Structure 1
Amino acid sequence: MNGHVCGLADDPGFQATLFVAIDFEGTTPKGHPPQPIEVAALGLRHTPGRGPVRSGLVYESFIKPPSHAPVTPTDTSQTGITPHDVDGARPAPVVLRTLDEALPMPPVLLVAHHAPVEADILFRYRTACPRLARIPVVDTRLLAKHVLPGLTSYSLDALLAHEDIPQPPRRHRAMDYVTVTAALFHRLLTRAARPRAITSLDHLVRVATRTPRAAQPTQLELS
């Protein structure tokens, strides 16, 4: 993105922000919310003339699910993750606490595709990862709807095809997922620069960010 063309690239807030692409792979136990079995996170920071590129944080880990949410053959067929992969892994609170502690100081924004999935997991484990759970999430699905209105689908696969971004070899593994999410984020911001569809970090937050539940004010009970 050219700073002389795009107001976003000139914005000091945008320049200072570390964007962290994040993804969970998980199990879907019947009658219970999804449980993470893998997480990956990738730091991105704006570089003049190049846009958001890898910077700093790179993190990935298997996660041992609770006993009620084991890795099933269906999970393995979709993700390639086996029960053996997670047997010796640390549980979610430990893994997410480690990732939480690895985050640099603010300003930080998370990036995810269809962010409510990631946001829900972080909210449920907010005691272990209080910083992560309170960081707003830039949803590349919302960003794409703003930058590319009128598409028939805003699924990740559809957007990768539309933008000619190659599918990764392990499409349903967390690190490959965050890598293509980061590539899509970069491409969408590049597109947004040309017609000045997004002009500042505040503008990006308004059109494409979801406020996490952990950061929302709680309603006091009336006496």
Structure 2
Amino acid sequence: MKRIVINTALALGLGIGAASLAMADGDAKAGQTKAATCGACHGADGNSAVPTFPKLAGQGEKYLVKQMMDIKSGARQVPQMVGQLDNATPQDMRDIAAYFHAQTMQLSGSKPQKVKLNSGETVDGLTLGRKLFRAGDAAIGVPACMGCHSPTGKGNPPAGFPRLSGQYAEYIEKQLKAFREGSRANDGDTRVMRTVAKHLSDAEISAVANYIAGLTD
């Protein structure tokens, strides 16, 4: 029963929040103009050139709108975004989300990796990351990431589950650690991502983030 609850809860995804959020209805053409200032950090087409800034290209509209709303309200604290959305209307955010969703994400790729577990054992990071993404680890209460983010890591845009494949490993790692420490807390009342992340060690987070960055079709 416990595993059923965990798997059901994970359906909230990596910080997607309320399931009642309506599907975004934005204008991608209008969003291109409105997103001009976003390009300084995220790239004109949503493909950031800096690993600490997330790629927005190809992300689902619903997820992007939710994140912008949370950042504007303060529910998600992102120091680099302070003031950026103060004057953005809900329609502005829907349009920006529609524009970035329509772009193609450039894949980051994985790299060969060795990680040292808490036990002191050194293991292949890609093998460990693949296991966590595809099967989870029932022994520590971590369900498979692909249950919500899909086997290819493309997420589920209508449900608001974000795309992870092709995202920078550094950014994914940073977000998982933020959920683990509670500095990112916009994963809804179920606290699903915080609950999952708290069971992961630094080595496991690094391994699964690196594996995800290399997922393709």
Bin the TM-score by the shorter chain: under 0.3
TM-score (norm 2): 0.25
TM-score by length of 1: 0.24
More helix by share: 2
Rg comparison, structure with higher value? 1
